[in-house]
């Protein structure tokens, strides 16, 4: 869960600018009597002079304010959240919510029956702030309460499925102690001031301490605004059952021992880290290293996650596996683990992909899986996923849906990330052992995004540039691409909110890429979050660039990459040429290209 941060008590344009630039999540203005009180005309003036970042929320702190006065403040200052910091009753808040569309948070002043008070606001408020109770002030006292009470407040808020921010005397010195309680959010005013003015240095210190601990998704499976669980009611039980089972194995030593045994003795992990010396000489810039997921059993990173989910399925007593597949690599991985663990397997695959990946269809059948041809829509990965979900809805009791990418409803994106993080963990250890330092930049291709998130996640808090490469097909200026993060808009697909390729009416646009594994119209929700927060840079690479890179790697290193991975390579080659020889780039070579030979031959005309 990502801890949200709110800077409160902004009293001047200069304070407002410092807060906006700090990247804090909530900007708070006190409209109640206080030494920090401001008026709506002042705040709206600042907003006109400088825009906040789109994800930042404007908060109005009020104390027992008249509903009509408050409505005017909300409208004049485009307030996103009202923080009721007085003795406002549930009835008052219901009345307020009829007048305004802003979210309403209720402040609970810490006391023995604080959580019982919260229970009275259940289903009425959109969040809580817990602050210290003092004799003379409603808030902004700079005095902490006993944080041992935080888990109680946090639990009640989680039960109510709303966030809970902890306030009262938090400052850059004590915030680490508060973070141990993993609050949904932290709210402070005095702690970022020096002599009554907001202090830029203290703001920066708070943001770097709080935001450095990367904690997404939250309990509801949300990465910021992305992710979640947008599914029919029939699937809610199945997802909750899965979440419980997944939580149960996360710290289960026996599960991890079995998983590592399978990864090592069956799939061939750890995969090697290869220094691409001839390629580096040819490019003439930064040194390129390859994480060789192509050397996994079945030829790609997909097996890492498939093995883990199959073991989990077995523990849940499910003997039927279903899966969707695009390039066929995940279908092969699912069919493989089903055979390995003695389970039945149905793989849903678009008719178009079946043609492009004939060899993988044959492999799946050879492994004993039933491949179900999907003829709806564009007959590719999206349609296969739709069909798999449809099947799951009617067979939830005995069927485990083995999703192959960091997509779908919670807990799949988190679960797939954790199972694929073995890529990044191994890379980190191997890179340190071989070079004595971390890479300067890591590059991975993104379709749904599982190899990329598995590679990035263990480096997310390190000083390493991270770049995701999406498929630009015939160019992002054409209609034939799969560049979801470059050209997509927010929407819901396959149970999660993320960026999607869609037309004006919200209909999904069929994606295109020469690589079957990248032509998905959505993207894992964590990538959407990482893009919006700026932690990862995402770039598009076209078919032709990928195919050129593929041939270069073949000829310079004797490695035939998957067309998917060749997208990451193409961008890495561009970067390497621009960077000095002292820099090191790590590329996730997510899969091998044997499955693509037919496609490559068709495109290159046998040359």
Enumerate the active-site residues: 302, 324, 590
d(CA 306, CA 68): 57
Q: Where in 180-209 is the site for ligand LGQLAAA5 (CB under 6 A)? A: 187-191
CA-CA-CA-CA torsion for 387, 390, 392, 393, nearest 10 degrees?
170
d(CA 478, CA 449): 23
Smallest CA-to-CA distance from 385 within 420, 347, 340 is with 347
Site string for ligand LGQLAAA5, 67-106 (x = CB under 6 A): ------------------x---------------------
d(CA 280, CA 556): 9
In this complex, which beta carbon is closest to ligand LGQLAAA5, that of residue 131 or of residue 510?
A: 131
Q: How far is the CB of 157 from ligand LGQLAAA5 (least distance, A)?
A: 15
Helical packing angle, 412-420 and 422-435, nearest 10°: 30
Q: How many helices (H) and strands (E) does the chain have?
A: 24, 24
In the list 1, 31, 36, 202, the residue contacting ligand LGQLAAA5 (rule: CB under 6 A) is 36
DSSP 265: I
In this complex, which beta carbon is closest to ligand LGQLAAA5, that of residue 30 or of residue 242?
A: 30
The token duo for 227 is: 């992710």
Number of chain positions touching ligand LGQLAAA5 (CB under 6 A): 26
In this complex, which beta carbon is closest to ligand LGQLAAA5, that of residue 138 or of residue 400?
A: 138
Give the CA count within 13 Å in the CB-facing half-sphere of 312: 26
**CB-CB neighbours of 103 under 10 Å:** 18
CB 60 within 8 A of CB 82: yes
Q: Where in 114-143 is the site for ligand LGQLAAA5 (CB under 6 A)? A: 129, 131, 138-142
Residue of minimal Cβ distance to ligand LGQLAAA5: 140
Q: How far is the CB of 168 from ligand LGQLAAA5 (least distance, A)?
A: 5
d(CA 258, CA 563): 32
In this complex, which beta carbon is closest to ligand LGQLAAA5, that of residue 181 or of residue 282?
A: 181
DSSP 52: P
Q: How far is the CB of 475 from ligand LGQLAAA5 (least distance, A)?
A: 49
**CB-CB neighbours of 276 under 10 Å:** 23
CB 222 within 8 A of CB 228: yes
d(CA 56, CA 580): 37
In the list 63, 166, 231, 572, the residue contacting ligand LGQLAAA5 (rule: CB under 6 A) is 63
**11 near ligand LGQLAAA5, judged by CB under 6 A:** no
Stretch that binds ligand LGQLAAA5, among 90-98, 162-170, 279-287, 580-588 (CB under 6 A): 162-170
Q: How far is the CB of 29 from ligand LGQLAAA5 (least distance, A)?
A: 9
Strand ranges (DSSP E) for 159-200? Answer: 164-167, 185-188, 193-194, 197-198
Smallest CA-to-CA distance from 411 within 335, 524, 334, 322 is with 524
**312 near ligand LGQLAAA5, judged by CB under 6 A:** no
CB 368 within 8 A of CB 391: no
In this complex, which beta carbon is closest to ligand LGQLAAA5, that of residue 9 or of residue 227?
A: 9
Q: How far is the CB of 43 from ligand LGQLAAA5 (least distance, A)?
A: 15
Containing 437, the helix (H) or strand (E) segment is none
In the list 1, 4, 19, 32, the residue contacting ligand LGQLAAA5 (rule: CB under 6 A) is 32
Containing 588, the helix (H) or strand (E) segment is strand 584-589
Residues in contact with ligand LGQLAAA5 by the rule CB under 6 A: 8-9, 28, 30, 32, 34, 36, 61, 63, 85, 129, 131, 138-142, 167-170, 187-191
């Amino acid at each position: 869960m990502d801890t949200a941060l709110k800077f409160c008590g902004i009293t001047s344009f200069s304070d407002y600018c410092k807060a906006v630039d700090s990247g804090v999540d909530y900007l708070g203005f006190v409209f109640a009597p206080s030494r920090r009180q401001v008026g709506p005309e002042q705040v709206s003036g600042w907003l006109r002079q400088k825009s906040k970042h789109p994800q930042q929320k404007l908060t109005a702190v009020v104390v027992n304010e008249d509903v009509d006065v408050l409505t005017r403040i909300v409208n004049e200052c485009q307030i996103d959240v009202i923080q009721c910091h007085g003795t406002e009753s549930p009835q008052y808040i219901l009345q307020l919510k009829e007048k305004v569309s802003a979210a309403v948070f209720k402040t609970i002043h810490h006391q023995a029956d604080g959580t019982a008070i919260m229970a009275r606001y259940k289903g009425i408020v959109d969040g809580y702030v817990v602050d210290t109770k003092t004799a003379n002030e409603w808030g902004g006292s700079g005095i902490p309460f006993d944080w041992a009470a935080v888990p109680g407040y946090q639990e009640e808020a989680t039960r109510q499925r709303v966030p809970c921010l902890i306030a009262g005397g938090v400052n850059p010195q004590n915030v680490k102690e508060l973070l141990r309680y993993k609050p949904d959010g932290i709210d402070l005013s005095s702690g970022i001031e020096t002599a009554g003015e907001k202090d830029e240095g203290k703001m920066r210190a708070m943001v770097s301490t709080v935001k450095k601990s990367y904690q997404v998704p939250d309990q509801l499976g949300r990465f910021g605004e992305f992710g979640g669980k947008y599914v029919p009611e029939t699937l809610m039980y199945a997802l909750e059952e899965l979440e419980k089972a997944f939580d149960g194995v996360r710290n289960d030593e026996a599960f991890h021992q079995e998983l590592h045994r399978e990864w090592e003795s069956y799939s061939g992990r750890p995969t090697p880290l290869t220094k691409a010396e001839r390629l580096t000489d040819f490019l003439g810039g930064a040194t390129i290293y390859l994480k060789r997921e192509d050397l996994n059993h079945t030829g790609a990173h997909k097996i890492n996650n498939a093995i883990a989910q199959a073991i989990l399925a077995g523990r849940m007593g499910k003997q039927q596996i279903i899966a969707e597949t695009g390039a066929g690599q995940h279908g092969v991985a699912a069919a493989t683990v089903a055979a390995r663990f003695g389970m039945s397997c149905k793989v849903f695959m678009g008719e178009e992909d079946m043609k492009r990946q004939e060899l993988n269809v044959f492999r799946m059948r050879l492994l004993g899986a039933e491949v179900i041809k999907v003829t709806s829509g564009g007959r590719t990965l999206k349609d296969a996923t739709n069909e798999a979900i449809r099947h799951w809805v009617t067979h939830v009791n005995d069927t485990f849906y083995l999703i192959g990418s960091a997509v779908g409803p919670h807990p799949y994106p988190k679960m797939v990330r954790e199972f694929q993080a073995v890529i990044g963990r191994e890379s980190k250890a191997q890179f340190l052992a071989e070079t004595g330092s971390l890479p300067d930049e890591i590059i991975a291709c993104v379709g749904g995004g599982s190899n990329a998130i598995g590679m990035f996640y263990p480096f997310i808090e390190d000083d390493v540039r991270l770049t995701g490469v999406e498929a630009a097909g015939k160019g992002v200026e054409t209609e034939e691409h799969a560049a979801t993060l470059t050209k997509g808009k927010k929407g819901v697909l396959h149970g999660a909110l993320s960026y999607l390729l869609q037309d004006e009416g919200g209909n999904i646009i069929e994606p295109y890429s020469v690589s079957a594994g990248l032509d998905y119209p959505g993207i894992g929700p964590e990538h959407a979050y990482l893009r919006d927060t700026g932690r990862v840079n995402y770039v598009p690479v076209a078919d032709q660039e990928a195919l050129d890179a593929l041939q270069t790697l073949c000829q310079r290193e004797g490695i035939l990459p998957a067309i998917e991975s060749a997208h990451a390579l193409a961008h890495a080659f561009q970067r390497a040429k621009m960077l000095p020889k002292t820099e090191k780039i790590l590329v996730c070579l997510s899969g091998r290209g044997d499955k693509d030979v037919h496609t490559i031959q068709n495109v290159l005309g046998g040359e």
